Structure 1
Amino acid sequence: MLKAVVFDDEYIVLEGLRSMIDWQRYGIELAGTAGDGLTALQMLRDEAPDIVLTDIRMPGMDGLQLIETAAKELPDTMFLIFSGFNEFEYVKRAIGLGVVDYLDKPITVSKIEDALLKAIERIAKQQEFSALKVKWEASRAQLLEKATLDLLLTGAKAVDQWKEAFGPDAARVVGLTVLAFAEAHPGVPEHPTYRIVDVTNGEERLSVAFHYALPPEFLWERLFEMSNQASSAFGTGKLYLSLSEAPNSYREALRALRYGRFLEENGWTRIEDVEGNEPLPADLSKHEEAVIVSLRTGDREGLSKALDGFEAWVEAQKPDPDQVEQEILKLVYLGRKIAEESGKNLRKLEAVGHGQLSAMHTREDMFRWLRSRLDGLLSLTPEPRPATKHPAIEKALSYLEEQYGQDVSLQELAEHVGLNPTYFSLLFKEEVGITYIKHLTRIRMEKAKTMLREGMRVGEVSEKVGYLNYRHFTEIFKKSVGVTPGQYRESFHPACKGGVS
């Protein structure tokens, strides 16, 4: 039902309109009346009516002033004016304000009813237009989502279709970055320097940032903020300048996300942090980790439970036998790597025997083969875990102490110590208790605190500890220390207050 209000400073007019008009007949509820402009304005704000009938001449605020003020707050409300003064200037102003009808006094029932019908007809058209607009916008959003997904999957073949769906702003796009999320998220905040298009592909939750300006500083800042508050992982691919390279960023984003999940890290993982890693199936990473940890710690019971879990997963998910074979071989080779790095002689073991595994057709046979190989490896690993850190981790820690001011990637660090990046990342977390990125951040913050206590400017410190983005450095420092770098510096050097660069 529509809602109407009537304003006039003559009591007899108000009562006449209240009683003589059959409001229900028109599907209208008369929500209230007022005799002066100020009371009328408050009633408009309280009731938000669909139709307003008002006199021009009222104390406090005349009808045209009332409409001019209220129309900004209630753009969809229909206004009907009546007056005993049919002056040209009044009519001209009323038309300019979009008034539906201008009625001369004396007011008759037929005049009011005709005006109400006109207002109702306009409301119906407006609602119909609004519904069509909503439907059109939804359809357009769906087309853009589909075109964006096609762009991620096929690259150059979908560029023209994507440009048509994206609209005129497609000409402004100078690059793109794909984001992949582990769970539903509130969305990446928008900004004039980029546009976000959300996409789903099966269970994959994706967002594509189409950049209007480079470098994308504002997007990185928002991702840092999201990372600090995230309860799950998300990953990003590289930024590509060509739309045809969208599939590359898409694959990289999924890979970064998978790595973040593998390490059970909430927040943002960049592909630059994991470049060189072999992909890890998200559902299998927990089984792989359990097997590897059991081998390293000589935990025979733990190994048995881990393999039971892996086998139960295979039984439930029924993956392709080739995939199972690849995962089994991967576990065997990682296990041999563990034994080799522990100084054990692998010549005592029989060969891996790829051909044996490939010839097996049942899950039971394949897992019996896997258990026999890992049992053999377990006999070579030390029973008690050594108190000292693995030599490769000691070497990595020394390297990070020396290179903390550089952009040290996982690939670079793993190559420096001569280990597979996947195995190294797991080994580092197990030995140190945190990921290499968090450890590097901890070193950088301690070095930054030392420099700030010595009076060095914040901007200079930011660059020296490896952060070219000053805002990012400030945010990380405050999260770690509890105050901004400037505040920390001022606490030791009060005379330096206000100096940041």
Structure 2
Amino acid sequence: MPSAALPPVDPDLLQELFDRLPDVVFFIKDRHGRYTHANQTLVQRLGLGAREAVIGYRASELFPARLGDGYAAQDRRVLGGARIDDQLEMHMFQNRAAGWCLTSKQPLRHDGEIHGLIGISRDLAQPDGRHPGYARLRRVLDHMEAHYGEPVRMQALAELAGLSLSQLERQFRRVFQLAPQQWLTRLRIEAAMQRLHGEDTIASIGQLCGFTDQSAFSRQFKASVGLTPRDYRRLNPAPPCAPT
């Protein structure tokens, strides 16, 4: 017997459900990129007291420019018909510190037309050290941390763990919430952020952190951090030398 069709899900109900998840940001936006729904996690991380202070505004009006402009650019892509699935990027947490999240967004359609978008951003949790495969995956992680600046083959990592490529991918996601390639990207971006406080050229920093060329480095850095390496350096200059 065929199942009966379910009615459309009430966005207010979704919002209420996501209010109960402190490690997930949930939102719905209209065709102009303005929030129509936002869970309490998002409200709190913006430092606002009520949901009404979010509704009707765009991300670029609520977040610091380095984050808001990047989110707005994502919104334009999604409202143009694209999907974003598990984009690794930095977000602002409740203490205003930055942390890593996985963001997914997709268009909302009605009668074939895009009327808005819906999305979530999930905080990356601590690795599951109780997983039976943790020890062998830790060897993979140690190898990536020691060699992130070099070409790293996923097949070589699988062999290091004694797993097939698909087993490595599946177990790594289970323990670290990321694919191995995403974790490698995270290591490279974090290393680049540190080096950008120094005096090395941006091109040399990209090479030292494992990127094939400056264009690839800038593209990935902006996708993850919300700024180009050059803009990040300008906003986070190297500390002055101590007087002698």
Q: What TM-score, normalized to structure 2?
A: 0.44
Higher relative contact order at CA 8 Å, sep ≥6: structure 1 or structure 2?
2
- Give 1 or 2: higher strand fraction: 2
Query: In terms of Rg, which structure is larger?
Result: 1
